[in-house]
Every structure is written in C-alpha cells, then in structure tokens.
C-alpha cells in the first residue's frame, strides 16, 4: 500500500467498478454518491472515517470537539454538492478503557450539531477495539436544486471560469500547528490563537451556502477544501478533464491572525494553500454571473473571494507580486504514503 498510495488504490478501485447504473447515478469519485430512486428526487450519501492518531489527537482534542467535527466534515461534503442533510449513521470502535463521561460529551456535541442542521441519527454500530475509530455516514437530499434536481459535481469546470473560495483559508493549518506546539502561542494574541484553534477543531460546514449556490444553477463545479486549496483544486481540475488554473496570491482570503503570521514571516501563503481541513467551499462559475454570485454571498452571509480562473494548462500557477510561479503539492495528504 505504501507503494500504491491512497489515491492509487482509489483509482484502481474505480477502474474495477462498472459504470453507475439504475438508481445509482454517481458512485466513487466525488464528494458524495448520488442515488436517485425516483424521478425528481435523489439521495446523496457520504461517509468519513476518523482514526485516533491519524485524524485526531486526544491530547488536544476534547470529546465535544471530536463529536462536533466528526459530523461537520460530512456536512461539508454534502454542502459541496448542494444537498440538504437528512439522516446520519454513527459507528464507533471503542477502547474498553474509554470513560463513559467522555462518550456522553461526544454524543452530546454530535447530536447538538445534528439538531442545528435538522439531521436525524438513524442508526449505526459499536464494537470494541484497541484504538478509537469513528465512522459517520450522512444522507442528504437534492430536491429543489436547479438543472433537474442534479447536484453540483467537481467535474464541470470550464476554461475561463472564475475560481471562488468561501470564508478564509489556512486557518485550520495554523490552528493545528498551534495545538501541536509547532507554532508558539506567544507569536499571536490570545483571541487570534483561540480563533485558529477553533477553526481546526470546529470547522463551519457551509451547508446553506452550498445549497444556495447549487440552486442558482450558476455554479459549474464545486467541492469542499479538505486536503488544501491546491490539492482540492487539483482534484477538480482532474475531474473536469485535465484543466489548469491561474491564482492571484493577492486575492487569497486570509483571516486577521493568518495575515499577521504571514506578515511576520512565520508562515507563507503556499503553506496556507496546502495545509488542508479548511472545509470551505471551492467552486467555479462563468464570469458573466459574477453579480449573481455576489448576491448569493450577501444572502448567505458568507464572504466569497474570486481567487483566479480556469485555464487549459493542466497545471496550477500563482501570480506573486507580478511573478508567475507553478504550485506543487496537488495530490494532497495520502494516508499510505505520507
């Protein structure tokens, strides 16, 4: 597996699968699978697994934060395709020595976020294990979307499209560095440090924004930023037929704490674009609909930044102070090679 790699394994699996057929409209390869059991409706399904020591560290991740995040990352997947979340399935592999109070706090946070998005916990499973493993499956509905109730895929980008991101990027990367002690808390004020840590531990799934963008029918391709802007943009470009992109560093949206750390020389924009786990939305749209995209941003009360455009170069470049540089690190974190 170390030789094949995570993405190599997924590519090999996809080659062995027959094309989606019948009620299954979209299988492996996007943010969620698409099941359409009857005309005019559809169900999207996504699943994520979190493993102690790989996806989280209990030394700085509380039960409540983990309960919140384990659902939030799935909500973000559905947001990336414009779906409204419906019901969840939670499976837990639990060490025998795990305290009941820890589990109570985890479940309370999980159900709290579920209630906020009208998600019902419909089932799951529990088993004993030597390490804590969490698996969440989430179903969502595509009803009410434009283009005959079809979700937005990552494969629809067109040459000349604008590239947008929601919110700010790189905060989770910096928050993780703070939590791991790789970035000194003395390098940033208390409010800034708290903000960055929260952005890593409690990301905001852009569910309403994703649904509004999809319902507008103006978005050509969309996904959420889990591997980092560069890697996830790379996934979108590959899925859209091997396209390229040109980004403008000056347009990359940074939070105040991130900007201050960049200004102080303690991090750089490249690191913020490859760090991952922002769980913001990245999407493309024709330049002719810029005013509509602005209206959606205002209505959803989420800042949207136009950071570049789609090209036919099959590579990602970024303009930095008038100089164009190629960005590497498109593949993202690989569980078997990194």
Domain CATH number, residue 190: 3.90.650.10
Choose one of 106, 125, 149: the last residue of a domain. 149
Pairing type for strands 43-51 and 33-35 reads antiparallel
201 and 84: one domain?
A: no
Closest by Cα among 279, 245, 244, 272 to 257: 272
81 and 222: one domain?
A: no
Residue 207, CB-side half-sphere exposure with 13 Å CA sphere: 22
Taking only the tens of pLDDT, the chain with its 338 residues reads 567 665 675 677 677 767 877 777 777 777 777 777 766 567 899 999 999 998 999 999 999 999 999 999 999 999 999 999 988 888 989 888 888 899 889 999 999 999 999 888 888 888 888 999 999 999 998 876 655 668 999 999 999 999 999 999 999 999 999 999 999 888 899 999 999 999 999 999 999 999 999 999 999 999 999 999 999 999 999 999 999 999 999 999 999 999 999 999 999 998 999 999 999 999 999 999 999 999 999 999 999 999 999 999 989 999 998 899 998 755 555 544 45
321 and 175: one domain?
A: yes
Q: What is residue 165's three-state secondary structure?
A: strand
273-292 as b/e: b if 16+ CB within 10 A: bbbbbbbbbbbbbeeebeeb
Residues 271 and 250: their CA atoms lie apart, in Å, by: 15
- 284's enclosing H/E stretch is strand 281-285
Choose one of 103, 119, 149: the last residue of a domain. 149
73-103 as b/e: b if 16+ CB within 10 A: bbbbbbbbbbbbbbbbbbbbbbeeebeeebe
pLDDT at residue 87 in the model: 86
104 and 223: one domain?
A: no
Cα–Cα separations (whole angstroms), residue 53 to 97, 182, 276, 297: 17, 17, 17, 37
90 and 238: one domain?
A: no
Residues 234 and 328: their CA atoms lie apart, in Å, by: 10
Residues 245 and 94: their CA atoms lie apart, in Å, by: 44
Is 155 part of a structural domain of the chain? no
120 and 266: one domain?
A: no
Choose one of 149, 182, 204: the last residue of a domain. 149
- The 3-state secondary structure of 112-151 reads HHHHHCCCEEEEEEEEECCCCEEEEEEEEECCCCHHHHCC
243 and 298: one domain?
A: yes
Closest by Cα among 34, 108, 40 to 68: 108
Is 166 part of a structural domain of the chain? yes
133 and 195: one domain?
A: no
pLDDT at residue 336 in the model: 46
Is 338 part of a structural domain of the chain? no
* Domain range enclosing 236: 162-326
pLDDT at residue 31 in the model: 75
173 and 314: one domain?
A: yes
The pTM is what?
Answer: 0.87
16 and 113: one domain?
A: yes
pLDDT at residue 2 in the model: 66
In order, the DSSP letters of 200-244 are HHS----HHHHHHHHHHT-EEEEEE-SS-HHHHHHHHHHHTTS-E
Q: Judge whether 152 and 83 are in contact, CB under 8 Å.
A: no
């Amino acid at each position: 597996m170390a030789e094949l790699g995570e993405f190599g394994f997924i590519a090999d699996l996809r080659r062995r699968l027959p094309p989606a057929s019948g009620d299954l409209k979209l299988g492996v390869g996007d943010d969620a699978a698409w099941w359409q059991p009857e005309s005019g409706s559809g169900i999207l399904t996504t699943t994520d697994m979190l493993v102690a020591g790989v996806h989280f560290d209990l030394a700085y991740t509380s039960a409540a934060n983990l309960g919140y995040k384990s659902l939030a990352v799935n909500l973000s997947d559905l947001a990336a395709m414009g779906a409204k979340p419906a019901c969840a399935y939670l499976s837990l592999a639990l060490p025998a020595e795990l305290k009941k109070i820890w589990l109570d706090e985890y479940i309370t946070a999980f159900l709290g976020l579920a209630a906020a998005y009208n998600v019902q916990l419909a089932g799951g499973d529990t088993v004993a294990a030597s390490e804590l493993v969490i698996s969440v499956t989430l179903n969502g509905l595509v009803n009410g979307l434009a283009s005959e109730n079809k979700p937005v895929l990552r494969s629809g980008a067109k040459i000349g499209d604008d590239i947008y991101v929601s919110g700010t990027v790189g905060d989770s990367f910096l928050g993780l560095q703070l939590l791991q002690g790789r970035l000194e808390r003395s390098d940033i004020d208390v409010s800034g440090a708290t903000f960055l840590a929260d952005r890593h531990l409690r990301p905001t799934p852009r569910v309403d924004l994703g649904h509004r963008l999809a319902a507008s029918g103006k978005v050509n391709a969309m996904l959420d930023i889990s591997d980092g802007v560069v890697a996830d943009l790379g996934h979108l470009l590959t899925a859209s037929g091997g396209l390229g992109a040109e980004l403008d560093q000056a347009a990359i949206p940074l939070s105040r704490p991130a900007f201050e750390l960049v200004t102080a020389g303690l991090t750089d924009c490249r690191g913020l674009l490859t760090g991952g786990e922002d769980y913001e939305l990245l999407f493309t749209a024709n330049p002719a609909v810029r005013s509509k995209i602005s209206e959606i941003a205002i209505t959803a009360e989420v800042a949207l930044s136009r950071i570049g455009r789609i090209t036919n170069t099959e590579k990602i470049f970024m303009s930095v102070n008038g100089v164009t540089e190629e960005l590497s690190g498109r593949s993202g974190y690989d569980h078997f090679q990194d």
